[in-house]
Chains A and B, each alone.
Chain A
């Protein structure tokens, strides 16, 4: 463990650590363009120059292993001068089209110029003209003039995706990045090159000209695209609806979590969020004026809907024929909601509850994309709502068709897709009460007696358990759209109407109740989960697939 001094403070780091990593550990930020902790060291941008005592010249911090007794100055005049000169060279051929650049506002060229550049430009020559607005692939645009040739994107495609589409061509001031002839940047992780690009050379096509970055608000959340549960920051805009055609979610960026997704996010998760703002179910739909109508043609209020549903449920409960109630929950619900469903429907009403909906496995790979496209299958399993502790959804549907179930509540799952429209239409006619609660318009909702709009997962607080058994908080990004309500709120209210003793008020308290009831979650709270998540007590991977790191 060599110890060194950085800016007057001593620190001991493992052997082989570089100065930039040691400084990072101490909270000292050394400017960098080409250095990225997830990629190999290239050492070509030279912006991370630091002064090291007893060495004749400035050194690059990203490629300098620490030695015992090393004394480093990161902010000395000599180091700043060196960096300023490097920045001047990097900006020599930069087009300075910040006003029209999508990176503007989160660009390291802008940041470092304002931090320690601030020189008077001396470049009077003609700038080298290169290609602008080059389409590299389905998700990425390239502006060769803005590129500073840090080669992060090249190393990303070489080392992380191992597809190697991007390369640096030509030499000298004509050097430019591009894709190899005949190829396109279309690997499943292609948009990550935009995140790691420190300047505006690589930008997202989906975000192109949509908004300026300073209009965006950001909130931490977790991807619900598959059971990996990658951590991400959701960037949204609420006060300028003319941007982005009124949609609130503008883009997402991966959030670093060493145990889940490191710095990366797959394109499938990144661009699979349109449903949050499009074709949402926004109003309560009920049987309308005619009682016991089979379709939910009329508009209703939450009070009407929950009053009618709880009345029916109470009747069944009074007759003590609980098994005639079926609930098809979803592995897209949070642990808190699944726990409430279990408490209310299975334990208090004696219903058949399942969160086990067989689905065709989706695309998967060995890195981040998992075949199970539900974010919380593991949580449902831990709560005994999937195989082998609970019946399969198909059995509940079959029993309902056979007349053994009178009431069916479906949470978010599109039955029409799984069982065909004929069967669901039959269900609507046969069942005495058929409730659908979900986020978006779909055929099942149209055939149910009550269609309840529920909040999307970014509109509510809660936790998911990823495939590896990591409990992660999803966090609330913005408030529910229209009349929709969070599923936990619907369930709590229903529990209250049924006269159950549920003395929780919000997901945080429900989770504490859950932690008390389930050994796998014992001792956990939102405080201990934090923003990086914790592993459940007994880790038993469902698929036997572990992360490659």
Chain B
């Protein structure tokens, strides 16, 4: 490995004295401390709002606003009857460069809709957040606008979002009770088909 010798500056006499330099440093720190103490107290009292204090964001109580085009966790958009808008065309599964989407389509009772996803999984452990799935969707059925950024889990399995978590972004595993009414493969029913079209209130007669 090549070594590059860096010429260091010689310390001046004042710097070599040490104590004055410590005092200089403490002066800078305490200036900021007392300035922020004063300004934050003033802000609390509703004064001097136009003078900014320190810029630390108190996460997670306080969050930065996200840009509207920011790609956060996915969600599946819904029809009026709370069934997924997705028609199971598998274009997102096709375009996904990380191959993290798994769709199993089924027959929709409405012949004009034809297909819907019985199963729709996204493995966030594999997702690269490219947003191609959102771009390619012909039905605006998948979006990445939940604003959810804190994606952490204790297992790989928990990183795998199923149709429940995708349709209800507030849900997190383990989901004890499945409230979805259309037929779908449900983790809470041990991967069996759950629900039925009979119980789904149809918004229009078909």
Contact = CB atoms under 8 A, between A and B. Distances in A.
Contacts of B89: 99-100, 212
Contact of A132 (B88, B91, B112): B112
A242 B90 contact: no
A97 interface: yes
B169 interface: no
A131 B139 CA distance: 22
A472 B104 CA distance: 37
A134 to B, nearest CB: 9
A105 to B, nearest CB: 10
B111 interface: yes
Contacts of A208: 107
A242 B119 contact: yes
B86 to A, nearest CB: 10
Interface in A78-110: 97, 99-100
Given A100-B89, A132-B114, A133-B114, A209 B119 contact: no
A242 B114 contact: no
Nearest to A129: B112
Interface in A407-425: none
Interface in A235-265: 242-243
Contacts of B103: 242
Contacts of B119: 242
A99 B138 contact: yes
Contacts of B88: 100, 209
Interface string A210-248: 001011000000000000000000000000001100000
B105 interface: yes
Contacts, number: 35
B90 A212 contact: yes
B102 A97 contact: no
| A interface, size bucket | 10 to 19
Given A209-B88, A212-B94, A242-B119, A100 B114 contact: yes
Nearest to A208: B107
A197 B107 CA distance: 22
Contacts of A209: 88, 105-107, 115
Interface residues of B, number: 20
Contacts of A100: 87-89, 113-115
A29 B88 CA distance: 34
Nearest to B91: A99
A176 to B, nearest CB: 15
Point out which of A132, A133, A209, A212 has the most chain B C-beta atoms below 10 A from its C-beta: A209
Interface in A430-488: none
A97 B114 contact: yes
Contacts of A133: 107, 111, 114
B114 to A, nearest CB: 5
Point out which of B88, B107, B114 has the most chain A C-beta atoms below 10 A from its C-beta: B114
A258 B102 CA distance: 41
B49 to A, nearest CB: 53
A534 to B, nearest CB: 41
B93 to A, nearest CB: 8
Interface of A: 97, 99-100, 131-133, 208-209, 212, 214-215, 242-243
Interface of B: 87-91, 94, 102-107, 111-115, 119, 138-139
Given A99-B89, A131-B111, A215-B94, 7 more contacts: A99-B91, A132-B112, A208-B107, A209-B105, A212-B90, A212-B94, A242-B119
8 contacts: A99-B138, A100-B89, A100-B113, A132-B114, A208-B107, A209-B105, A209-B106, A242-B102
Ranked nearest first, the 9 interchain pairs of A and B with the lowest CB-CB distance are A99-B89, A132-B111, A133-B111, A209-B105, A100-B114, A100-B115, A99-B138, A212-B90, A100-B87
